[in-house]
Structures are given as structure tokens and as C-alpha cells.
Amino acid sequence: MDFTSDCFMPCLLCYHNDCYIEIAGLTLEKSGLLLFTYTGNPVSIHNTMITIFVGDCNQISQSFYDSVIFNLQLHQLTCSCSHSACLSVHGYYWRSVKLPSGTLRLRVCRVRCSECGTTHALLLSSMVPYSQVPLSDQQRICNDYEEGRSISMVCESNPSIDENNVKSILRNYRLCWREKLRSLRIGLFPLGNLILSCFSDYSSQFMQIHQRVNKLFSYTT
């Protein structure tokens, strides 16, 4: 990693999933890093997301992602500060996604607001923030649990997912999402309705655990 000396300050590096960090004008396009000053206090970072709702909520590939971003009208997006027509491409970072064909390293775009300086990761609606397991697999894991089916079924259809992934997903589902869905009678199927309901009622993607700002944008070709 190449640091520019005139804008870098002494800090400690700690692991954090899928962060993209700016400090004193320095952009660190390094997934997995969170910076702390020598005082031990977190450096101010903008770590928010815009989820792009696409018709195929199951598809994840670099070519599909790039196509969506290329055809996206950035002026239609709204920042969390409520300004629109203010976002431009700011950089990229890498994140891993567990697919049946293997683990995909996906290059994810970030945009920056010219009004407030906030940066947003642009995610597909087939993705869960801070998770390598696709949304459709997490949906199936949760549904199999509710139906009393074996948790190994998803592992068989997607060999990239192991039992530890499944156990972690079920723990998060029971702790954070099961009662939310039940209280508003939100069904696990169909997937598109599940996504829309979770954003409408909870301003989050289904199975999103970290309470970061996440805005939904409906993508049309």
C-alpha cells in the first residue's frame, strides 16, 4: 500500500470487513482495514451503502455488476444528506462472494457526494452488506431452518458455503431478523418482496447486521 507522506498521520491498523477509508484527503482502497489514531479513537469514516434493486435478485458476477454500474444514471441517486445529482465515482474496493463456482473477488464501486463528502458503496440487491454469502443462499438457509430441513442442503448446492457459515447466518437470523419478520408478517418468499419490505420497514437489506445507512434504489434498464 502506498501512503502519501504529507497526508498520512500515525495510526494503528485493525481488521474490519469491507471498509473504504478516507483520512485527511487520503483514499485507502483496501478492503478490510479500519484506521484508529494513536489516541485509540476511530478516525471519522463514511461507510454507507446504496443497494441497487435489480429484477434478478439472484445474479452476482463481475460482468453483471459492471453492466449495472455502467448503465446506472448516477444523477438519479440520492445521498443520505438528501441531495441528489451530486454523486460521482470515487473509487473501488474488492470484496469476496461465495458462489457455487468458487469464491468471486468482486470489484465494487464507491461514489462520493459533492455536497457533504459522504462516500457510498454501490451494492446489488443480491448481496448482503458485510457478508460473503449471497442473499438468496441466506434466504434459503433461513427458510430451511423454519421448515425443519437439514442445513446441509445449501452447502451441497453451494460448496463454497460451509457449516460455520450456515451456523453464523442462523444465529444472526434468530437474534436480529426472525422477530422483525414475524412482527410485520413479512414472508421469506418471494425474494424481491422480502427485499422491498425490509428496506421499507427497517431501512436495511434482509440479514444486514451492521446498522449502517443503506438506501435502496430501483434500477431499470
Domains of the chain, residue spans: 5-37, 48-54+61-126+210-218, 135-202
**What whole-number percentage of the chain has pLDDT above 90?**
73
Question: What does the pLDDT look like over 133-181, one tens digit per residue?
Answer: 999 999 999 999 999 999 888 999 999 999 999 999 999 999 999 999 9
**Closest of 47, 18, 22, 46 to residue 33, by C-alpha:** 18
Tens-digit pLDDT profile for residues 64-90: 999 999 999 999 999 999 999 999 999
Report CA-CA distances (Å) from 105 to 58, 129, 136, 168, 196: 17, 15, 18, 21, 27
CA proximity to 68, closest of 88, 51, 54: 54
Contact 209, 130 (CB under 8 A): yes
pLDDT of residue 17: 40
Question: Above 90 in pLDDT, residue 8?
Answer: no
Q: What is the pLDDT of residue 151?
A: 81
Say if strands 48-53 and 119-124 run parallel, antiparallel, or are unpaired. Answer: parallel
